[in-house]
Structure 1
């Protein structure tokens, strides 16, 4: 990553031609790995996610994204948040450790970023090593902490054997703490050649003891946890970090996940698990450490056969000493379990028990009205109501009733926690309104049909029939069948109510059909359970499905017959159907373009794409047979004769990725493309067939890596476009394009140049102090795991 010098003022954003809003799916959508409340400002809290950045809590329980401006294609990993810290003495200051992976999937080192205005703007300090916001153990923590008595001092616990780091200038630079030699030597799978599970987990938390007084102007006593279950995992300094030692008599069987100070008790509470999370956890413990006496007490809520999970989330009530809540880490059946104690862990009250009838007797209610599809797809079909991957459970330090906890699906919580243990039930409510941490696999808008079809990782997918539906969370996901992930979706151009989608998991039928625009679905049994993944294309008259699978090459099914191999296409070919002529399908692999005029029974070479070596996407015109655009590593090519010949849109965009056509203001269609243009790698639009291009993204909104983004022009509403991201859900906006509905200064002129021939076979040391500053868009407020192992999505770099 390249960093600029620190500016005295915030960089002025380039004005975009579009104002972006999230399509409202609701529910969160991915793993909320950490929630942090400010200790002195009531209700001020932030949530960090593994691939979707940071959100700020609003007074109405909704959330506002505060990192939308920090993840361009060159620094896409900034949406991976591995740790979060607030300055106890200044509620405006936030720190975060950012970076997605510590292995080769992420080519760049991480950073510590800082905001002094609650996330409106950010500065970055580069580190000399990588940060793993989407790596194993990402729910531990927090690994980042500000000294409560000296705001200049910030500690960060690194992964990969990099140890403990310290800043003495409020995050402008970090130096390694050489006196701290423990590095956290555990790796989930040392033999993993990808480096994802073989990397050392490193340090797991940093906790200051605010009751310990000062040494040299800094808090004297500091505790640090490490991923180590062999010798010691909790270390302490009594002299503000000058020297360190293992805490005596500590437990050494499990890995510490959370450590919370209860200052009035002068005690630490710690949760442990036999894995570092967030997916694992079959054994664990909860301990209380009396700082004054040095005594460890095992206060684990259950034992024996009742203990089949680890412990993660830990909330300490700072208003009521001795009151705390702990969460099971992955009790896969029948549900997660939460325990509350009001006597420092001497006794516990679970949130549910087995009743005399053999059914679960719950001391809580579930309210998912903000994301009703959670009820229809999860609560109505499973006992697992409370969630999974509960690594962060927090109680507002200034409000004993206000609590929140993060799961692999959403944020739950409420405002009546003290009902626990009384005759009244605790309300457990989905409170992720505004958090859209979805990894989007495809977006399609159907001309004359459904406004938006969104294929989603971890939640299968969602249908928005009309533009007016975009602000309302759907009542259900794509079900019957409900898969973990829908990887691709397409529609029939002449019969727009007919839709096909494919899923991304082995062992089940991974093709589903709809005859009502995606409102309901049914399984297509023409496939088998071994085929999955890839891309799907539907013929114009809805009688032929072409499927470029991940496992079985390219296959075809006509008139509901069994899928059979298409031998004339290479595996993993990019495919598309003509949207008006039922006979034509298109495909691309490397630099070769293929055409079929016999409903995908066979393909032959089409026109040449001069200079291209990689075909990325194919977009057929929604209303004109034989007209199509092809995205490549050297730009976009255009054909009006069913791919027999092409002209290149030269001088405009290069190295393009996903492209789409959408309804324009006049009778023409806009062309949208992710590519490298006048303002760098971003999203561009053209209202004149690619003769000129407008930067419709701007700098206040980023979409992450453009090679992982999806784009879909609206087929029904003029100048609207949808963007699917890897971690921030689906965005939509109305564009203003030169040559179309308006003008903008950010345009690049291009001439179409004839370039191709018709094919005869087709007729028709320490971290540096170098920092950069960026603005984050703040709106006005009022990989694939199973459903129960959601990680928040895929990286396009994997």
Structure 2
């Protein structure tokens, strides 16, 4: 009781300070605000489990991932496009892809075995919600007739497990090359299914032998049947009879290879076939079957027997492929080193005599990373698949734990050049993120890949946060409000390596471990959990830190981790798994001694730097995974998001709470930079506001909301953390379980800047005429429509320069920045442009065009001379000096006009 009274006295004293307090009751969600949504550029980061080339259309390539959906290759822009973006969080199980198949006779048709987890698991874990999902089943074969732009259910409703065991095996689905109506699927229930009407209906092939599933605890067919995992389906296109292929092979892990010669009416287990088949490939004439397996590589010749053709010691091999132009040239990948057991730096083997002799191509490989954060060992790590481009057989691709690799010439001497072609693939599994008010825009913590720091542009690949501390996971990050250079982290190597807890004093550039940290009964540092740091340093330069390890009590330190004491009153065992995604501990952003915690409907407050916590409220809802944040600049204001129970707030340091009306479902929320003219932070919510699902923004602490996403950008792949930008108004980031981190930003940044200038002038006692803000700007119009830029056009030495990206996008181009090589690539129809800052020549369709003056970079934006538009594109460009306006009018043909100045 004494402690509680003291708490009230302390909080009352703080409330008397001149910091704004309070929050508004929510009202209706208003209009949509146009936002741009895309993924933060990280580069891969997850398991790409398969790659499929279309045999009749060049550069039509698909990949599948275990937790990040499917992607299609874009040759013109040298990048991948994600194809699962329209799935909502209610059907996020469909982001796992267990198999993919193209229709060899129709390049527009593609099938996906969708299901991240088995159906029962998906429902239990909430990754599929039947009541709210638009798709009818947690696992399904989905069909697209527009190359993956849209998908429809085929009513398959059988189990898949894209993130399960043996996801690195061959495709479990295949379309009959001779009859596109026939499709064969191996489901995770170990049964084979067939459609004879283009996936309109399905039938089980009851003749396929019973095999108990490895994924199930009990044998569903009885102990007399073998146990394994039926995975790979391969059809021999040479076996056509009566319009349907007759010979089909099926690989079953722990059993062997099955075959049918009558289109699935009867099956037999091939005698002496490899017991643990991974992938299979047929020679062009169908007479030779090659199989990679746990234990080696094998060859079967029709009418003959099996032959062991393993290149070296027996170990795990995957990635089986045959050169489509030469049956004697085959490839495989050794996944596991037979001596060390390592699955990093896989070895690609090539044979040009059908497996009699092999060449280890790893020994002559030059490996080039397009991302700085990739460790050298990541090349061909746990390789899943290897494929040969059917149109360029010297070009070989492989997929692994972190992305996609490609060599344009596997036969190049003396060495082969490999590069990780991963632009557009974002499969990082997010654990946490922070947005300091100064310094780096964004820092993240991840599963399996530690974390990253974006010093500036989120469109460029980041730096790793492994400088000084390397860990498999980073579960917690926090920063000191008054000193953003001080950042703390909760990291670790799971059960095999213990926790890695530490801090940075240079805004996350380098790190050091705390001098000490509590240990478990085995003498290992306790595993990572959550962490928070006080809003400012003490007079002696140290800060208060509160840390909650996994399966443990909470601790606090007031000497930068030199000593730790258990926090009194803080609940124990709040974090029970590395996969908890709980953000239920935070410091007060305005008062250095105050910390907050939520657990199981109870709210706790500390006023002594984390040494002790008082349970101030015990009747809050307990629903799902909580998120709590203190509102910067607002004394005593804390919000808590509680999923289906909504959003709650306090303005008296957690003494009382009120439900923020209108927010019916609050999956995530965060506070970001104030809107211009506002003294409160901007709030963002991912959830449901007044019956509308989406992502919302409020500039008045929940009184009104605007939706900032559309149904085309649902950010649905298990969104698990949200952080709003503290340096840029309107920016927000959302971490996911398999699609990395998304960002959302207002489409019209220029108008925001105008509003901000106006607000700043009024705040300082002046007045602003909006016409004055406009008159000195260079204005650009394309076909009479005003174009707004992130960086204003300007005039240098009588040459007008304009920002490249926004202008060319207005003209119909797609624009990408190649950070590795320092140039921009713009593409439209048959035209491709390469623009390099510092050069006065632009490469158009492999031919240089002199534009007179060099392009240059300004604030990370490429600026090009205005005359480049008339030189490169059929458009009339007119300069009106009296109004500082540029008028660009596109034409249907003829020569591009010269720039006319008035």
Scaled by the length of structure 1, what TM-score is found? Answer: 0.81
Q: Tell which deviates more after alignment, 678-687 or 333-342.
A: 678-687
Which residue, out of 327, 335, 338, partners 2:333?
A: 327
The Cα offsets for residues 109-138 of structure 1, whole Å up to 9 and x where unpaired, read as 410011111111111123333210000011
Distance 1:15 1:238 in 2: 58
How much is the aligned-residue C-alpha RMSD, in angstroms? 2.6
For 1:205, the equivalent position in structure 2 comes to 232
For 2:47, the equivalent position in structure 1 comes to 31
| Kept in 1: contact 2:88–2:716 (CA 8 A) | yes
Distance 1:21 1:228 in 2: 42
| Correspondence 1:658-697 to 2 at 5 A | 658-666=668-676, 667=678, 668-678=680-690, 681-697=693-709
For 1:121, the equivalent position in structure 2 comes to 150
Which residue, out of 257, 260, 264, partners 2:285?
A: 264
Distance 2:606 2:681 in 1: 25
For 2:835, the equivalent position in structure 1 comes to none
For 1:395, the equivalent position in structure 2 comes to 388
Distance 1:101 1:781 in 2: 36
For 1:555, the equivalent position in structure 2 comes to 555
Distance 2:693 2:526 in 1: 34
Distance 1:289 1:35 in 2: 24
Shift in alpha-carbon separation, 1:637–1:476, aligned structure 2, 3 A: closer
For 2:38, the equivalent position in structure 1 comes to 21
SS in structure 2 opposite 1:202? strand
For 1:567, the equivalent position in structure 2 comes to 568
Shift in alpha-carbon separation, 1:73–1:311, aligned structure 2, 3 A: same
Q: Give, in angstroms, the shift of residue 530 of structure 1.
A: 3.2
Q: Which structure carries more helix by proportion?
A: 2
The Cα offsets for residues 654-709 of structure 1, whole Å up to 9 and x where unpaired, read as 24233200114323422112223345554322222112223323211232355x42
Shift in alpha-carbon separation, 1:698–1:366, aligned structure 2, 3 A: same
| Kept in 2: contact 1:258–1:270 (CA 8 A) | yes
Distance 2:490 2:440 in 1: 18
Q: Give, in angstroms, the shift of residue 82 of structure 1.
A: 0.2
SS in structure 2 opposite 1:78? helix
Corresponding position: 1:367 with 2:368: yes
Shift in alpha-carbon separation, 1:684–1:522, aligned structure 2, 3 A: same
| Correspondence 1:493-642 to 2 at 5 A | 493-504=481-492, 505-506=494-495, 507-527=497-517, 528=519, 529-542=524-537, 543-560=543-560, 561-573=562-574, 574-607=584-617, 616-633=626-643, 634-642=645-653
Distance 2:650 2:186 in 1: 55
Q: Give, in angstroms, the shift of residue 67 of structure 1.
A: 2.3
Distance 1:439 1:200 in 2: 32
| Kept in 2: contact 1:16–1:699 (CA 8 A) | no
Distance 2:254 2:724 in 1: 51
Distance 1:98 1:242 in 2: 27
Shift in alpha-carbon separation, 1:396–1:61, aligned structure 2, 3 A: farther
Shift in alpha-carbon separation, 1:177–1:186, aligned structure 2, 3 A: closer
| Kept in 2: contact 1:86–1:95 (CA 8 A) | yes
| Kept in 1: contact 2:189–2:213 (CA 8 A) | no
Q: Give, in angstroms, the shift of residue 222 of structure 1.
A: 1.4
For 2:276, the equivalent position in structure 1 comes to 255
Which residue, out of 109, 127, 130, partners 1:93?
A: 109
For 1:298, the equivalent position in structure 2 comes to 308
Corresponding position: 1:709 with 2:720: yes
Q: Give, in angstroms, the shift of residue 644 of structure 1.
A: 2.3
For 2:895, the equivalent position in structure 1 comes to none
SS in structure 1 opposite 2:405? strand
SS in structure 1 opposite 2:90? helix
Shift in alpha-carbon separation, 1:603–1:476, aligned structure 2, 3 A: closer
Distance 1:710 1:200 in 2: 39
Corresponding position: 1:177 with 2:199: no
The Cα offsets for residues 53-92 of structure 1, whole Å up to 9 and x where unpaired, read as 0111121584333323243121111110000101111111
Distance 1:156 1:188 in 2: 18
Distance 2:814 2:170 in 1: 31
Q: Give, in angstroms, the shift of residue 595 of structure 1.
A: 0.9
| Kept in 2: contact 1:440–1:454 (CA 8 A) | yes
| Correspondence 1:777-788 to 2 at 5 A | none
Corresponding position: 1:222 with 2:248: yes
Corresponding position: 1:648 with 2:671: no
Corresponding position: 1:310 with 2:327: no
Q: Tell which deviates more after alignment, 572-581 or 671-680.
A: 671-680
Shift in alpha-carbon separation, 1:515–1:318, aligned structure 2, 3 A: same
Q: Give, in angstroms, the shift of residue 541 of structure 1.
A: 1.6
For 1:763, the equivalent position in structure 2 comes to none
For 2:458, the equivalent position in structure 1 comes to 470
Corresponding position: 1:78 with 2:88: no
Which residue, out of 718, 728, 744, partners 2:729?
A: 718
The Cα offsets for residues 185-220 of structure 1, whole Å up to 9 and x where unpaired, read as 46279599xxxxxx96532211111112223x2112
Which residue, out of 246, 258, 267, partners 1:244?
A: 267
Q: Give, in angstroms, the shift of residue 607 of structure 1.
A: 4.6
| Correspondence 1:27-66 to 2 at 5 A | 28-59=44-75, 62-66=78-82
Shift in alpha-carbon separation, 1:655–1:629, aligned structure 2, 3 A: same
The answer for unaligned runs of 5 or more in structure 2 is 1-30, 129-137, 220-225, 538-542, 575-583, 754-812, 817-902
Shift in alpha-carbon separation, 1:74–1:285, aligned structure 2, 3 A: same
Distance 2:353 2:507 in 1: 56
| Kept in 2: contact 1:509–1:523 (CA 8 A) | no
Distance 1:645 1:21 in 2: 38
For 1:769, the equivalent position in structure 2 comes to none
SS in structure 2 opposite 1:121? coil
The Cα offsets for residues 723-755 of structure 1, whole Å up to 9 and x where unpaired, read as 111100011111489xx979xxxxxxxxxxxxx
Shift in alpha-carbon separation, 1:126–1:63, aligned structure 2, 3 A: farther
Corresponding position: 1:699 with 2:711: yes
Task: Provide runs of 4+ in structure 1 moved above 6 Å.
Answer: none
SS in structure 2 opposite 1:101? coil
The Cα offsets for residues 395-446 of structure 1, whole Å up to 9 and x where unpaired, read as 1112112111111122112201122xxx421112111121110001112111
Distance 2:385 2:815 in 1: 25
Which residue, out of 282, 285, 291, partners 2:296?
A: 285
